[in-house]
Structure 1
């Protein structure tokens, strides 16, 4: 599976959404330090940076990417409409990525999920296709990242508000592949300071 994962990694681009405002956290959680000393965002970028040839992160215009722990090899996309919701950030991110890569699918990660397993990602990447949307499920709950085939990128680019990509899944049920996995890291995000400790 390792060789297959390496081959697939060049066919899948990574997009990490990290332009949110951490309203439930109480402060900017992207700067929160984990036990490793990494920022939450920096830790969440480790896996995509390791497994994927091309990775972008969506930030707000005023963000200091170095202070946030963004690795040098990760490309930064600034989303001027970040305050309008995740849909705007996702749309601006996919628009930029579509101009910069020939990848056949895009893996959409959240910037507050540092515990996704590499093996789980390998299984997910093996199903990537330009004609499908691949959703990991854990205990019948949808997780992240979600892989969107290139066919669906125009729909992602038209998103607005805070809806994210769920509307694209609902509009294309025949194209969605669900992959059952046993990886709680694909569900577990950090919304309160207690989760960091």
Structure 2
């Protein structure tokens, strides 16, 4: 079994009072939209700020919530600890990537099932590494030493020579929306 873990415990501090994960796309908050996409592919988990937090209200009942405080490294470790023992790997991605579709997740999920690499990582169509990223259980021990908000950059660097890279269309593997300006530009360009 390969699980999907969305990271959604951050503060959205660059949104200047708003919450990027509660921004609405096509009538649905981004966080809910992303979780529904993940759930259509595999068992899905999400790290969230502790309740009560408005993000809890948009999480579908079929998704496992993992409340966590701290930085991204804490969020990743808490998410991994919540996964079932039969998970042989996990696809991790930030929840603020609106163009990652269920089809993209299926592509990465299939590549992870077919590949012996410790990491299977999405790239842009021109080869720039991004998200989502699959991590095989055998390297989860490396997450114990992570600190701060840099996520799994150090682990990805350590295993780069053994990583399988999977191109996704366009720039979606790198597109995240962190500021009101990012959202404004995205909506203007995508008509959402």
TM-score by length of 1: 0.82
Query: Pick from 75, 94, 103: which aligns with 2:64?
Result: 75
Cα separation, 2, equivalents of 1:74 and 1:101: 17
Q: Are residues 1:89 and 2:75 paired?
A: yes
Secondary structure at the aligned position of 1:136 is classed as: strand
Q: Are residues 1:122 and 2:106 paired?
A: yes
Cα separation, 1, equivalents of 2:99 and 2:160: 28
Q: Which runs of 4+ in 1 moved over 4 A?
A: none
For the aligned residue pairs, the C-alpha RMSD in angstroms reads 1.9
Cα separation, 1, equivalents of 2:153 and 2:86: 24
Alignment of 1:106-185 (within 5 A): 106-128=90-112, 129=115, 131-138=117-124, 139-185=126-172
Secondary structure at the aligned position of 1:134 is classed as: strand
Cα separation, 1, equivalents of 2:69 and 2:96: 20
Q: CA 1:170–1:76 in 2, change beyond 3 Å: closer, same or farther?
A: same
**Which residue of the partner structure matches residue 28 of structure 1?**
19
Secondary structure at the aligned position of 2:21 is classed as: helix
Structure 1 unaligned runs (5+)?
Answer: 1-10
Structure 2 unaligned runs (5+)?
Answer: none
**Which residue of the partner structure matches residue 48 of structure 1?**
38
Following superposition, the deviation at residue 192 of structure 1 comes to 2.4
TM-score by length of 2: 0.84
